[in-house]
Structure 1
Amino acid sequence: MLMSRRTFSAALLAGAAASLISTRGMAATTAAVKARNIVLVHGLFADGSCWSEVIARLQPQGFNVTAVQNPLTTLPDAVASAQRVLDRQDGPTVLVGHSFSGMIVTQAGVHPKVSSLVYVAARAPDAGEDYTALAKTYPTPPASAGIVFDGDEGRLTEAAFLRDFAGDIPEAKAKVLYAVQEPFHKELLAGRTTEAAWRTKPSWYAVSTEDRTINPDLERFMAKRMGATTIEVKSSHLSMISHPDEITRLILEAAGY
């Protein structure tokens, strides 16, 4: 049975970081539709297990949670994998994306079962926008220098993963995450969205203020542009692992609790 939002938030607030900042955008003026389904999508340098901490907090509250295994091949392939999961949901669904998968959320989020969108340190392009060109208008984040390719497959070096991707996670745990890193195909980065679901769906955004993978000011720009309800978390790029309580609270808000 779902716990009331007030009760659950109070339980999480007890251990929340004092650095959490919340601002309200246009999305806050639209009441979130009650949703019991949560679909989570991972980005580059990860797999679906990166959502484990958040899943463990949502499931006991009665939510139906699914982590999509993003193929990281092409954008159409990745969007199709999310759409298949969305097709299986039995009602309103919160679609959540981290990092690169913000591209997927932005495209697949027009699905009729998606009631709201949550971006976690994620890309949020407009329809047809060249995200790479947008990102170049901000200082290049350090993690970019750590990407290496084996043919058409890219990945982060261990040093860059530990320092620039998972910098606030204990080293032993970060090394486990590094071990399950899924390589991405070069073609994936060439994809552009043809839809911008955030223009029609209520949206929430978690900015990682210590992010070394996506520039935090770029995250702020995208969140403001979409009119998202926005929080700032003093976190590395992997806020859903290092600050799962804050990210869970944001998802609960997007789900109407």
Structure 2
Amino acid sequence: MKSCKLHSLIFLALAGISVGGYASASSPGNDTAPAAPVKNIILVHGLFADASSWSGVIPVLQARGLKVTAVQNPTTSLQDDVAAVRRAIALQKGPVILVAHSYGGMVISEAGNDPKVRGLVYVAARAPAAGEDYTALTRKFTPAPASAGIKWTGDYGQLTEDAFVHDFAGDLPLKQAQVLYAVQQPMGRAVTLGRTTEAAWQHKPVYYAVSTQDRTISPDLERFMAKRMKAYTIELKASHLSLISQPEAVAGLILRATHADEK
């Protein structure tokens, strides 16, 4: 019964049907069908997290026969993280879908022009234009509370427990959020200075999951970036960590992207 329910949720997510925390999807027109589905998925985590943040999404994708790689970004600098993703792309046999959460959106925007990459999926993720100052962009929208909770020790920053639990992982059970807080990966100060030189989303099919209750990136900023990219967009009633609180919905969007062809 559990397996049937899971597959039903995946089907509904693929269809863009609203169920519970799921929201109807809208497409501005860059969602087209390819000759053959993409089988390789590379998952890129964001700041204050690691590759295990995809643990709920991975089994859903694997159950559909996809080859999944979750990159362990060092989060020391944008260049270091892009290099990690490019190494993962090089190891794939065949076309790839890149998926990113949060800051990871900058990483896949930079690494995504690789010819193997057929599409990009952004999950409550940053999506700056080439050379754009992302921090300046955020100032055009209501400030997200989580940023005030970053505590620096030398050249590395982490979220305070209060900011992590309430602003980063607000829709997770308290005990689960506290476990994730305990294993959060520090952010290198150089990350805050990084700017993309590429915007792969200008040339590849793009998909975006907006978190409507996000307190780490403004939901309105997420909507702005999704609209600017002309992304196929869904909205999830979730915190910044929708990939953990709603893994089936996020997996459904990724599954849709596997059938995307180049523009």
What is the TM-score when the length of structure 2 is the normalising length? 0.91
Query: SS of the counterpart of 1:110?
Result: coil
Distance (whole Å) between structure 1 residues aligned to residue 104 and residue 19 of structure 2: 26
Distance between the aligned counterparts of 2:49 and 2:208, measured in 1? 20
Matching residue of 1:3? none
Cα distance in 1 for residues equivalent to 2:223 and 2:25? 12
How far the C-alpha of 1:18 sits from its partner, in A, is 5.2
Give me the whole-angstrom Cα distance separating, in 1, the residues matched to 2:216 and 2:9.
31
- Equivalents in 1 of 2:176, 2:22: separation in Å? 23
**What secondary structure is seen at the aligned counterpart in 1 of 2:89?**
helix
Matches within 5 A, 1:55-66: 55-66=58-69
CA distance in 1, matches of 2:150, 2:201: 29
Who is 1:187 aligned against? Answer: 190
Change (3 A) 1:18 1:241: closer
User: Structure 1: how far apart are the matches of 2:223 and 2:13?
Assistant: 25
Which residue in 2 is equivalent to 1:155? 158
Q: Please tell me whether the aligned partners of residues 22 and 237 of structure 2 are also in contact (alpha carbons under 8 angstroms).
A: yes
| 1:138 and 2:141 are equivalent in the alignment | yes
Query: How many pairs were matched up?
Result: 251
CA distance 1:18–1:190, shift in 2 (3 Å): closer
Aligned-residue RMSD, C-alpha: 1.9
Amino acid across the alignment from 2:10: S
Describe the SS at the equivalent of 1:104. helix
Contact 2:238–2:245 (CA under 8 A) maintained in structure 1: yes
Task: State percent identity of aligned pairs.
Answer: 55
Does residue 206 of structure 2 align to residue 203 of structure 1?
yes
Q: What are the ranges of 5 or more consecutive residues in structure 2 without an aligned counterpart?
A: 1-6
1:19-34 pair list within 5 angstroms:
19-28=22-31, 30-32=32-34, 34=37
- Tell me by how many angstroms 1:112 deviates: 1.2
Letter in 1 for 2:11: A
Asked if 2 retains the 8 angstrom alpha-carbon contact of 1:16 and 1:245, the reply is no
- Distance, in Å, in 2 between the alignment partners of 1:233 and 1:12 is 11
Deviation at 1:104, TM superposition (A): 0.3
Aligned-partner residue type, residue 21 of structure 1: S
